[in-house]
Structure 1
Amino acid sequence: MSIFYDRQQELEKYEFMMGEARGRLAVTLDALTDALILVGQHGVYCASNRNPMVPALDLQAVLANITGAKELVSSVMEKLRLEKEAAE
């Protein structure tokens, strides 16, 4: 399924409130947050052999990349917001 179909109502809501680009980025952040939650839950059951208090190394890499992606999307949203305010 396409994200445009799966999250159609969210997309419509956020695009209406924030504009097309920022609305889609907001839904992207929500999707990344959902992925972080799922990986985090999985990490509870797949602990590192060396240190059972942390997730396995592959899950740590996935968590780090998703977190980094969220930071990038957030920075783009902030830049768009500042540009919009400067134009007004």
Structure 2
Amino acid sequence: MSVFYDRQDELEKYEFMMGEARGRLAVTLDVLTDALILVGQHGVYCTSARNPNVPALDLQAVLANINGAKELVASVMERLRLDREAAESK
């Protein structure tokens, strides 16, 4: 199924509140957060052989990349907000 179908209600809500681009980015953040939760749960059972207190190295890489993607999306949302506010104040 498409994310546009699976998350239709969320997309409509956020697009209405924030506009199409920022709304879709907000839903993207939610999807990435859900992925982090799933990987984090998996990390409880798949620990590093060297240090059982941390997730396996492959899970650490996935977590780092998803967190990086969230930071990038959040920065784009902030830039769009600042640009919109600058355009409104002119």
Assess same fold via TM > 0.5: yes
Cross-structure match for 2:21? 21
Aligned residues: 88
What RMSD over aligned residues (CA atoms) do the two structures have, in Å? 0.2
Deviation, 1:55, is 0.1
Which 4+ runs in 1 deviate beyond 6 A? none
Deviation at 1:40, TM superposition (A): 0.2
Partner residue of 1:10?
A: 10
Show the counterpart of 1:55: 55
Q: Check if 1:31 corresponds to 2:15.
A: no
**Using the alignment, how far apart are the partners of 1:5 and 1:61 within structure 2?**
29
Q: Structure 2: which amino acid aligns with 1:61?
A: A
TM-score w.r.t. length of structure 2: 0.97
SS of 1:60's partner is helix
Superposed displacement of residue 64, structure 1: 0.3
The answer for unaligned runs of 5 or more in structure 1 is none
AA aligned opposite 2:56 = A
Q: Where in structure 2 are there 5+ consecutive unaligned residues?
A: none
1:44 deviates by 0.2
